[in-house]
Amino acid sequence: MASSPCGSGNFDSGLEIKTRSVEQTLVPLVSQITTLINHKDKPKKSERTQQAIQRVGQAVSVAVGRFVGVGEAIAVENEELKEEMGMACFEARRAGDAIAKLTDVGMPVATLVDGRKTVFSNRTGMVKAARMLLSSVTKVLVLADRVVIKQIITSRNKVLVTLEQLERVSTFQEFVQIFSQFGNQMVEFAHLTGDRQNDLKDENKKARMAAARAVLEKCTMMLLTASKTCLRHPDCESARINKDAVFHRMRFALEQVMEIVTDARPCGETKVLPLSIYTGIKDFKSDVEGLREGLYSLPQQALSDQLEAVVERTEDFTDSAYTSHEHREGILQLCQLARQDTDQLIVAWREALSLNAKEATEEMELSILKTCQSVHELRRELHKVAVGRAADLLKVHAEHLPLRALKASGGEGNLEAVAEYARTLGEQKEQLVETCRLLCHVSGTEPLEITCIHAEETFHVTGPQIISAAQTLALHPSSKIAKENLDVFCEAWESQLCDMGVLLREINDVFEGRRGVPASGDKRAYLSLPRPGKHSANLKTVKAVKLDTEEQSTIAKLGVDLRLLTSDVDTEVEKWEDQEQDIVRQGQSMSSMAYSMYLFTRGEGLLKTTMDLFHQAEVLSEEGLQLCSSLHTLSTLLMDEEKVVVLSEMEKLMGLCQQLQMGVRTPVQGKTATFQKVDSSIQNTRAIMTVVIYLLPVCNKLVRKYKSERSSLDTPQSWRDRQLSTPVKDDALNGKNSNGFGVKSLEKHMANLTFLESK
């Protein structure tokens, strides 16, 4: 933890924000302070504007006061944080009061200009107060987050102590008593880590947490039956091996959770994913396409080296005994084609350099296109091979014949048959492990790579555990406990095969562009931050409803279109050169929120109740209105015909957003009315996203055209500079197009922050 930044006057203090709850709690504050800072250069203000500024300043002060009260309550409950939290709360309260005074039109600091009062004349004081407020509030939130980490560590330590006791028990009575305690502790640990998993910003950590929690969930039942079997047959070596493997895996999974929660690795190691073919091809294509912008951006040999690294990793496919001759030849031919196209590109590149060209020549452009196409075809072929093999394996093993045979032969006490079917299961395990490795190469995202690795590890570990459980049953064929133990391990294997089927569909969705981005736009307060018990009574409770099965099925049909629309939006967004442009950022944010609403229609994701859905819809409508503001700004730079097109669609979007906003804010009673409100919210969101998908390519084309026209004029300012230098209008008080101090100060700590102003 970095030292307190409160007195330094510099917010960039090294505090890293790792959870959504901390980030989203800061969003309204950043937005309000940005609004205030953006008015610092306009001395003449109308009475209405002055009152609005004063209201924002007072709102900041009041909100900080309530916030600090919660922080102080947390400090009382956690003695080790008392001093640090107390100092941060003191600085936050002092900064909030300073902002309220600096924005008070009745204070003596206000001056008269042409008969009008001018607030905010103390520019230095406001900046200092704003920096102190942001840094101290962030400090409070990060300290509060440490309380959550402490709770998880404490819970893990309890589980470990009880786990050691379970490992040493010698009687059934003692085991039953301790396991009952262990079960309660695991439930608590599951709740804490589940909240933490949902709250993590880093999608890779979230996937690793999900994998570790899945292991703990399955191993808890395995531990019960494996321990009972060992107690019933204490002299059985295979039973002891079976039990020891479960305890070892549980400890390893608990350690993985701690690494993620505390962001620490033993001996200073860092968790690095094995480089997949997908990642290698993506990086290679990025460098190839980058030559269009800069011929001197990388050494010529670098492209050849990158491609050879990709080709080397394809040996996992070509060297496999399970890859058909036809597929092997196809992969080798595509690798050779990629080499040839890359060599031709390098020749064209060298020729362009010899001519002192400033950009890619036509011949080079053609070579770039051919090279990208050839590696794309290679990726497509590898995807087809990996996914095809996985699908075939799942079909072959759908009836679980080796598992049935092991159960039958074990129950008959036939050790020879168990050994024979164990070899069959071992071969099946090797096939599945290798297939998971191939799927990892083509998964398309790092979180899915992590899931593939988890599947590989699960098959690798569970196979031998099933065999040892079957050997125990064969040695004690009349033992009900030994039979129950084998059933549990076989169920875990079958469950992992089902998970592999889901994983296969997700990989296909990513490859075909059907999968949306994670819903980073969720505006959910305090997903895992501690809530002091004595303050919870002051919170207003709203009745939340979950849809029943029939309603979920009906609403799921509406969600399909929403998913397709979000996929189309993501595709259009990728085509923009400037990913930081307001229209792009707002389009991405709306797509993320719409995708989370789609997940709700499937009964998945973070939105669990209808209240969650309505809240998300309201936030989406607000972001849509922000997009309207950005579109209006763009229209001021366009010619008449172009302006009419943009303004026409903007008005349509504004009407739809207002309609959605009014709908979700209208209270309803009864199950039928609530379902109709859900249906209406999804329908309106679908209509909004339809307009957005139309606007994105239109605006992209207009922005490119405007930038091209501006670049031909004798002006030192770029199009983006012109945007930033545009005088701030009074309507920025409503959070429109804010690009001030608050945003820039938080960029290093709050990547991909979605600006959602608290209403």
- Please spell the DSSP secondary structure of 684-726, one letter per residue: HHHHHHHHHHHHHHHHHHHHHHHHHHHHTSS-S--HHHHHHHS
Give Cβ neighbours of residue 642 (< 8 Å, ≥ 6 apart). Answer: 702
**How is residue 272 written in tokens?**
């690095």
pLDDT of residue 422: 95
pLDDT of residue 534: 32
Helix, coil or strand: residue 112: strand
**CA 303, CA 306: separation in Å to the nearest integer?**
5
pLDDT of residue 255: 94
Output the CA–CA distances (angstroms, integers) from residue 432 to 118, 234, 307, 486, 503, in the order listed: 72, 33, 28, 20, 13
CB count within 10 Å of CB 303 equals 20
pLDDT of residue 514: 65
**CA 733, CA 36: separation in Å to the nearest integer?**
8
Give Cβ neighbours of residue 647 (< 8 Å, ≥ 6 apart). Answer: 631, 632, 635
Domains of the chain: 20-105+120-145 (1.20.120.230), 150-265 (1.20.120.230), 277-386 (1.20.120.330), 398-512 (1.20.120.230), 548-708 (1.20.120.230)
Contact between 497 and 397 under an 8 Å Cβ cutoff? The reply is: yes
**CA 650, CA 629: separation in Å to the nearest integer?**
9
**CA 632, CA 723: separation in Å to the nearest integer?**
12
- Nearest residue to 495 via CA among 447, 465, 471, 462: 462
**CA 23, CA 467: separation in Å to the nearest integer?**
48
- Nearest residue to 342 via CA among 317, 382, 315, 309: 309
**How is residue 136 written in tokens?**
């101290």
Residue type, 267: C
Count of residues in the chain: 759
How do residues 13-60 score in pLDDT, each as one tens digit?
345 677 777 766 666 666 667 666 665 545 555 676 677 777 777 777
Q: What is the mean pLDDT of each run of 10 residues along the chain (759 residues)?
A: 33 57 68 64 61 74 78 82 85 83 62 42 70 81 84 93 92 90 89 86 89 91 93 94 95 93 65 76 89 78 90 92 91 94 90 82 88 92 93 87 93 94 94 94 91 94 95 94 94 90 88 55 39 35 54 70 82 80 87 85 76 87 89 83 85 90 84 85 92 91 78 39 35 33 28 26
- Provide φ and ψ at 754, rounded to 5°: -95, 125
pLDDT of residue 756: 24
**CA 506, CA 381: separation in Å to the nearest integer?**
18
pLDDT of residue 666: 84
- Nearest residue to 455 via CA among 390, 510, 396: 390
**How is residue 540 written in tokens?**
């207003």
Q: What angle do CA 124, 129, 132 make, to 5 degrees?
A: 125
Per-residue burial over 180-189, b if 16 or more Cβ lie within 10 Å, else e, is eebeebbebb
Output the CA–CA distances (angstroms, integers) from residue 37 to 24, 127, 132, 183, 666, in the order listed: 20, 8, 14, 53, 34
Cross-strand bridge partners of residue 19 = 200
Contact between 428 and 508 under an 8 Å Cβ cutoff? The reply is: no
